[in-house]
Structure 1
């Protein structure tokens, strides 16, 4: 029996009609590289053949009687590819604006929990530039209970290859989950409930020690930024289900050059660019707060986790983005120092701390609490926990091919939350850094107004590096 981990299940409990807990990806494909001309029916059939024996694509959620324990995964015996892979065409003129509007609409739709928690839309007729060749776009959506950044990439690798006619990059095979009986589910749930107090005692001691150490770090000025210390912005309130989406591309080699010259990391540079773009966006609207915005940055703990099960193996750290600093180089230096302290603080925390505590999320009460929080609009009443989520996902250094079509852009999009209605995700891909921003439409109607600042902020940072460093020449 394949039981969801507490962290995986928490993403199910967090979901409401407005707070949708799926992650998305926009893949722009060049069909000219395909060994046979593009045809939707052939692509759908090939996807079906590749996912048929992959549990991540063919399993669905089954609840435990009386909600006594987290749900389990079972195989969908009536799996039908036509319920998961769909065909759409962009309205004319089929440009970037039409694509973003359509993707935002698709991101606003919930997944059907009676089936495996993923869908793809093959979108035809995309012309990124006037006079350019027609591209095919795949908009993919998977529930966060099924994947995190790393496991999502592993799952998609079943559909990608290194050459147009090469076999897929298939990870190690995983057995399909079996379908347990009602009695077994109930029995295991009763045992798990009875032993929960013992588990709680094991978790409390290291957590108490962590709090003591964190207080000491705060006094020394070496702690990561604290939650509930963020200024309020227009995208920090109660969200709706409507989404807005935008994308941009950055030169990965230029980011690496800035990193090398300044002695920082790629993540430091990305966060500095994010901080500058957010500063410019808020300043344009006379909304720039005096104190810095605070971001939650997910961190993969897959390599250090003791747990062998669960799709999500992540932790998180908080970092101030330096939106109160105009000079891009000064912002980068500040971020590098704060991120170093934040990483040291984060490394002192057990890799499984978040997963351990998530085991105590009660299915019924957790869901009721989330809905009450949304209905009472509590996100607008208490101090802001964090302003947004920023994820940096390492991608392939060489071109990949999806069903034989070269992936020109691979842009992931994470969920947004009540109180933090903006998510920025960046992913490297064959020399480019693709930026994806998704927001609650009522909070940020024009996400492109933010994203268009990213290339400009990289240019500003590059110019500042060249002006301030004798060896910064290109």
Structure 2
């Protein structure tokens, strides 16, 4: 079900640079130059049929005024760059005329099929690289949906989701921006080098008066941090050169998988269940999500192997996490950026590092062992400067050998792993998208050489698992979703028993 040409609407939005005299060109970052055909897709479920004209006006007044969203990517010449242009909303807001019989028969599948079609449809490079697709029919979770397709060169996933949230408002107070969960983010890179600040992944340096034992413990922690970084960087380089590759499993993609059609499937789970496990085991939400993912992939893996094979043998493969190295701007600052159409002092774009996170595929008698082992793995990764070092390697290779070599190494590194994994924190309260209540948020991406991409996205008291799968390889992708739901339930039940025992004790 391919999307048709844009409908005949007519509003032009003038980019802020043209009106303000701001510089109309800006160089592309090396990371943005590497992302040739790497896209982000985000589906928003809405609680009522969309009122198109107010939504259209809202997009023109906010998203279309962002400096990246009113620029085209120019790749000719010695220096690839962003060039400001005038945004014609006719080119970006698309209301497809879909098969009503297919929608009536299975609206959830009709939504899936349409979003899947976006993974094979090229984007016009002569326009700003974003689209808003309005799918105005009800599904099991929403009265209608909006699908955004955004080229990854415009920004990393964390920044783009933050930007999207800056376009929304609190349902309780339409004048207020959404309330985000209170979380203590990791310190920005600049803070790691400042006197008296915490060294990321190691304890803060004690005062000289603390004694020799405390100072020795700090030195040892820093030595472990340095050793872990060396090991992680060596492994990263070996994977980029394809000296080390993941074993062949049911999750591994075929050659050229980045060009194949992707299907985006999702399931809504309880965030309270995740928090109960977190509380029972004294870990983080991220630890729980990594553990649930390991359990779900293990269930699927052993089921696909079948009884005729040795299903007791464990294996391990790796996932790649993209880490945003820029301090993420608050949605208040992003909202001001869109109002003015200027960057101001905000840092925007792609400044990414890479973390290689192993996933264990194994049978555990105790479901909580998946989370315990995940916590050990994640804690080990926290004691490393892997993300900073891999970013520096990518930047150095691009400067010394050119963007083609850097892009090739990036592709080889992703090809040496099995999956991409990420999780994002969403609003803690119900929000509205240009006056339309949002029932769910489901981001994902495509264009990289992986057959399976795993995203977790929280929103209010729910958390959604979104899988981007090779449509031809994972014909049973909904069974894999069932494995995630079943794994979380088993882990939650075990944690509940543990928590009750702790309370009684």
Which segments of 5 or more consecutive residues in structure 2 lack a partner in the other structure?
A: 1-24, 179-222, 330-344
Task: Tell me the equivalent position of 1:453.
Answer: 483
Task: Tell me the equivalent position of 2:90.
Answer: 82
After superposition, where does 1:42-441 map in structure 2 within 5 Å? Answer: 42-65=54-77, 68-69=78-79, 71-77=80-86, 79-88=87-96, 89=98, 91-128=103-140, 135-163=143-171, 166-167=174-175, 169=177, 213-214=227-228, 227=239, 228-234=244-250, 235-238=252-255, 239=257, 240-286=259-305, 290-303=314-327, 309-326=347-364, 327-346=366-385, 349-350=388-389, 352-353=391-392, 356-357=395-396, 359-360=398-399, 362-363=402-403, 385-418=416-449, 420-441=450-471
Q: CA deviation at 1:334?
A: 1.1
Query: RMSD in angstroms over aligned alpha carbons?
Result: 3.5
User: Given that residues 225 and 320 in structure 1 are in contact (C-alpha distance below 8 angstroms), is that contact kept between their aligned partners in structure 2?
Assistant: no
Residues in 2 aligned to 1:268 and 1:213: alpha-carbon distance in whole angstroms: 23
Q: CA deviation at 1:338?
A: 1.5
Q: Does 2:36 match 1:24?
A: no
Residues in 1 aligned to 2:170 and 2:384: alpha-carbon distance in whole angstroms: 38
Residues in 1 aligned to 2:146 and 2:276: alpha-carbon distance in whole angstroms: 32
Residue 468 of structure 2 aligns to a residue in which SS?
strand
Deviations 1:232-272 (A, max 9, x none): 12433221331112101111111011111101111111011
Q: CA deviation at 1:313?
A: 2.7
Residue 107 of structure 1 aligns to a residue in which SS?
coil
User: Given that residues 39 and 447 in structure 2 are in contact (C-alpha distance below 8 angstroms), is that contact kept between their aligned partners in structure 1?
Assistant: no
Residues in 2 aligned to 1:293 and 1:407: alpha-carbon distance in whole angstroms: 36
- With normalisation by structure 2, the TM-score equals 0.71
Q: How many aligned positions are there?
A: 401
User: Given that residues 396 and 428 in structure 1 are in contact (C-alpha distance below 8 angstroms), is that contact kept between their aligned partners in structure 2?
Assistant: yes
Which segments of 5 or more consecutive residues in structure 1 lack a partner in the other structure?
A: 16-20, 33-37, 171-208, 374-378
Residues in 1 aligned to 2:472 and 2:427: alpha-carbon distance in whole angstroms: 34
Structure 1 residues 142 and 210, CA gap change in structure 2 (3 angstroms) = farther
Residue 260 of structure 2 aligns to a residue in which SS?
coil
Deviations 1:350-404 (A, max 9, x none): 485256336436345666x589x8xxxxx7xx99621101101111111111011
Structure 1 residues 365 and 294, CA gap change in structure 2 (3 angstroms) = closer
Q: CA deviation at 1:98?
A: 2.1
Task: Tell me the equivalent position of 1:175.
Answer: none
Residues in 2 aligned to 1:320 and 1:233: alpha-carbon distance in whole angstroms: 14
Residue 321 of structure 1 aligns to a residue in which SS?
strand
User: Given that residues 299 and 317 in structure 1 are in contact (C-alpha distance below 8 angstroms), is that contact kept between their aligned partners in structure 2?
Assistant: yes
Residue 489 of structure 2 aligns to a residue in which SS?
helix
Q: Which segment is superposed worse, 56-65 or 255-264?
A: 56-65
- With normalisation by structure 1, the TM-score equals 0.75
Residue 128 of structure 1 aligns to a residue in which SS?
coil
Structure 1 residues 466 and 42, CA gap change in structure 2 (3 angstroms) = closer
Q: CA deviation at 1:120?
A: 1.1
Q: CA deviation at 1:348?
A: 8.3
Deviations 1:289-345 (A, max 9, x none): 73123222222322399x975512332222222222334211211111121111112
Task: Tell me the equivalent position of 1:7.
Answer: 31
Residue 299 of structure 2 aligns to a residue in which SS?
helix
Task: Tell me the equivalent position of 1:198.
Answer: none
Residues in 1 aligned to 2:136 and 2:33: alpha-carbon distance in whole angstroms: 35
Structure 1 residues 321 and 363, CA gap change in structure 2 (3 angstroms) = closer
